[in-house]
Structure 1
Amino acid sequence: MEYGKVLRFHRVKQGLTQNQLADGIISPAYLSKIENDQTVPAFEVLEHLYERLGLDFHDSSYNHPSKEKLKEWYELIVFKKNEESRKCMEELIQQKDTLNNHHLYIFFELFRIRHLLLENEVEKAYEAWKDIRQYEDTFDEEMEYYFHLGSGLVLYYQGDYENSYLQLMEAKNHSVSINLEDWEESDLYYLLALSASQANNISASIFNADQALTIFQKQYNLVKSADCHILLGINYGRLKNYGKALENYHLVSKIATQTKDYYQLGLVYHNIGVIESRRGNYEAALMNYKRSFSYKSKTASVHEIFETIYCLILEYYKLNELEDCSKWINEGFSYLNSSINDTTTDEIHLNIYTMLINKDNNAAHYLEGVAIPHFLERKQHRFVIRYCLILSELLEAERSYKKSSKYLRLAIDLLNKYSNLGGMIL
């Protein structure tokens, strides 16, 4: 048994210093050696330390859920079985040693991070992640794996996709030393593909999506296979390999129609709309976005619905069909008003196109002072590029040539740095 890690875990949990725990028993320096597994103390010493922490050194009842029960809970979380996951968590909490046993508590908290993200409790997940970090030097290899995986997910939900991918790669490095089941391995590859895609690391996303797809197909997991095909379609589209992209999207359409998965149908028609827009087939793009909206409005979150509304606004604006553009702007505001989550980013998009349609003289000031800094801070480069190009034109019309050139250069620099975004900008 790793007595040092157990002692440190409970000492930190109870807010005691090494001096406080060691006082009258041993020296703080010797306690430090015990906690770092640099020495094996006498049982009498351990008994005294355990007693001060309110633990029974001789307790061997192990009246707690098995590790397998925790893994069952984690599997429910991974497969997004919300209700079953909540019920299982409550059962685990009722077992007192889930929270008192060092080994079980660490795994419970690491899995709880992902449970909270499943419930869209992002801030609570972040707090749980910050809390568990203080025990990191007591982690074994398996704990390190779940910690880095959880870190990657928290960063993903916060929109920091590059660091999310790096953390998930750290998890992959630790996975070599532990035995992952097939469903966990495919989950890891899929998360790597997802974060790499958002970070615009196309080759890494395609590689990991292919790895995940191979495992999902062996498991006859149609839903997750379709998710992989969506990622592959997105990335082949970025490479302007539209034939390969559409091939993947049509496979998703076939699977989602068979499984009656309206959420995936909403995603696939949205992405087909993106492809048609890039190819200059604006009417086809509009048709697919509207089909996507009809499916998303039944199943998707407000933010996901807004993504399609935004694309409809953009297409109608490019076609100079301003009445339809205004209609979808109003639709966007109605959805945002019904949302309980932060909608600042989405509101900025709507404000911009409202100003552009109305030829508002404050449009350039809003783009320069609010919109572009907002998207720069969030590293959402495609929007920075798009709005820099619009701002450059507005400033040029105002004969502010120096400022116009500044934003044009910023757009060009970002386009050169993130050349794979080229098809997503205009």
Structure 2
Amino acid sequence: MIEIGSFIKLQRTKQEMTQGDLAQGIVSLSYLSKIENLKTEASPEIIQMLCTRLGIQVDNSLDSTINEKCKQWYGMLFEVNDKKKIITTYEEIQTLMDSNLTESLLLFEIHKIRYYLVLGDFDEALNKINELKEISGTFDNLHLYYWYKFRGNYSSSSGEFNQAMRMYKLAEEKINKIEITEEELADIQYIIAVTHSKLRNTLEAIEYADKALDIFMKQYNFLRCAQVHNIMGISYRRIKMYDKAIKNFNLGLHLGKLNNNRQLIQLTNQNLGHLYSTKGESKEAIKHFREVLDDERAQLLDHLNSVASLVREYYNIKDFEQTSKAVKHGFQLTKQIKNVEQYRIFYYILYTYDYLLKEDYEKFEKLTIQEFIPYLQKHKDFVNIIIYSELLAGHFEGINKYKDAAKYYKVANFAYEQITNI
């Protein structure tokens, strides 16, 4: 059961009520502070009066109803669901929470972090984290598990993968102290695998992905299996076990098609394109990148990723006519962009190759040296640092500027060192 003091403090702050507003005529400010900070237990009469002023019923008859609705909503936050349905269910539960004292409240409030992340409202997610920090000292092990997990989700969404991993590991430490479903266990293992993959901890990514896959397969959850196969494919590609990588990607693609999940199909095609590109099999790489680009239902980000990949692939095989067509298509796509900063890397990629095609080497050098490579270094995008540092170094080598060439080969080598910690 939620500690009543924590409940009162949470409801008071949500209603933007001061301690003075709540305490007036009921208790002293210092006594209310002790109640809220769990330093004393107030009488049932005082609790009743405080809850009445907050507009809360002290009635446990709806507990089971609220608990069931919450469980349903929590599940919706982890599967592919209509956001409108998620919002509608949230609003129904919030109405019940606002007028009833229930043991589900804290877990519901913690899940709001995940809810805001699903909606893409990162500012609200951070606000909720900051709000809950004040009462996090009263959380039990189950609360702490989700508290750490969702803070990890927030850090991941911000690109802070080391911080995310710290949070996920704290959540993992709570697993033996709480009761969670096998599906929940698989989910935390999956997101730890994803985070290890982001951090280039390849063997750890495979280990955790394997654990998650075992559970998802037993549950016949093919959608989640497809997600795991993508992580395993990426991991095996990085350690050059290409046959295993292709097998996992093809399984992911098959399961994505079985579920008619366009996002997974596009992701897997993009990953297969990168794999064949790494192997030097440009024809196969281009085929998979085009699968994404030719899908009219694909999201803008997916189209931009595929066109950027095609531009690089066509240029690398010296098919400059197709490179030019891909660049033009990319510029057409950028007209749909509303948040330029979010997609800035694609502008850099398109202009880089546009200048090379036009043989405007002065602009190419200026862009890559002064803007593009510093941008990639700021975001610790080591893979693209390698690609574009080597592109720049090769350019300098071709015009006999060997000192400059050596400088950017050195930049590329440093980036290699950062991503070879497998």
TM-score, with length taken from structure 1? 0.85
On the 8 A contact 2:55/2:99 being kept in 1, the answer is: no
- Which deviates the most, 339-348 or 70-79? 339-348
2:308 partner letter: Y
- Residue aligning to 1:368: 369
**Contact 1:98 / 1:105 at 8 angstroms: preserved in 2?**
no
When residues 357 and 122 of structure 1 are mapped into structure 2, their CA distance, relative to the original with a 3 A threshold, is farther
Unaligned stretches of 5+ residues in structure 2:
none
How far 1:317 moved relative to its partner? Answer: 0.8
Map of 1:424 onto structure 2: none
Cα distance change of structure 1 residues 100 and 78 upon mapping to structure 2, 3 Å threshold: same
CA deviation profile, 1:20-68 (whole Å, cap 9, x unmatched): 86788777666555444344345566566656x5366x83265565222
SS at match of 1:419: coil
SS in 2 for 1:66: helix
Letter in 2 for 1:320: K
- Equivalents in 1 of 2:280, 2:366: separation in Å? 31
Tell me the residue number matched to 1:303.
Answer: 301
User: Is 1:234 aligned to 2:241, yes or no?
Assistant: no
1:261 and 1:383, CA in 2 relative to 1: closer, same or farther beyond 3 A? same
SS of residue in 2 equivalent to 1:374: helix
Distance in 1 between the 2:238 and 2:109 partners? 38
Measure the CA separation in 2 of the matches of 1:251 and 1:223.
11
Question: Partner of 2:54 in structure 1?
Answer: 54
- Displacement after TM superposition at 1:89 (Å): 1.9
Q: Does 1:418 align with 2:416?
A: no
Distance 2:257 2:46 in 1: 66
What pairs with 1:99-248 in structure 2 (closer than 5 Å)? 101=101, 103-248=103-248
Structure 1 unmatched runs, 5+: 422-426
1:91 maps to a residue whose letter is E
Q: Contact conserved, 2:200 with 2:420, CA < 8 A, in 1? A: no
Aligned in 2, Cα 1:13/1:291: closer, same or farther, shift over 3 Å? Answer: closer
Q: Which residue of 1 aligns with 2:335?
A: 337
Give CA-to-partner distance per residue, 1:136-194, whole Å, 9 cap, x none.
33433222222222222222222223322332222222333221112222222222222
The CA distance in 2 between the partners of 1:262 and 1:155, in whole Å, is 26
What CA distance in whole angstroms lies between the structure 2 residues aligned with 1:356 and 1:124? 43
Alignment deviations for residues 259-307 of structure 1 (CA, whole Å, 9 cap, x no partner): 444433333332222222222211222222223433xx24432112222
- Secondary structure in structure 2 of the residue aligned to 1:343: helix
- State the Cα distance separating 1:337 from its structure 2 match: 1.9
Q: Partner residue of 1:354?
A: 354
Question: 1:39 and 1:376 mapped to 2: Cα distance?
Answer: 53
Q: Is the 8 A contact 1:155 1:163 kept in 2?
A: yes
Identity of aligned residues (%): 26
- Match for 1:324 among 303, 322, 325? 322
Q: Equivalents in 1 of 2:117, 2:243: separation in Å?
A: 35
How many angstroms does 1:397 deviate by?
6.0
Q: Deviations over 1:201-227 (max 9, x none)?
A: 212211111111111111111221122
SS in 1 for 2:177: coil
Distance 1:104 1:233, change over 3 A: same
TM-score (norm 2): 0.86
For residues 413 and 399 of structure 1, the distance between their equivalents in structure 2, rounded to whole angstroms, comes to 23
Q: For 1:216 and 1:138, how far apart are their aligned partners in 2? A: 33
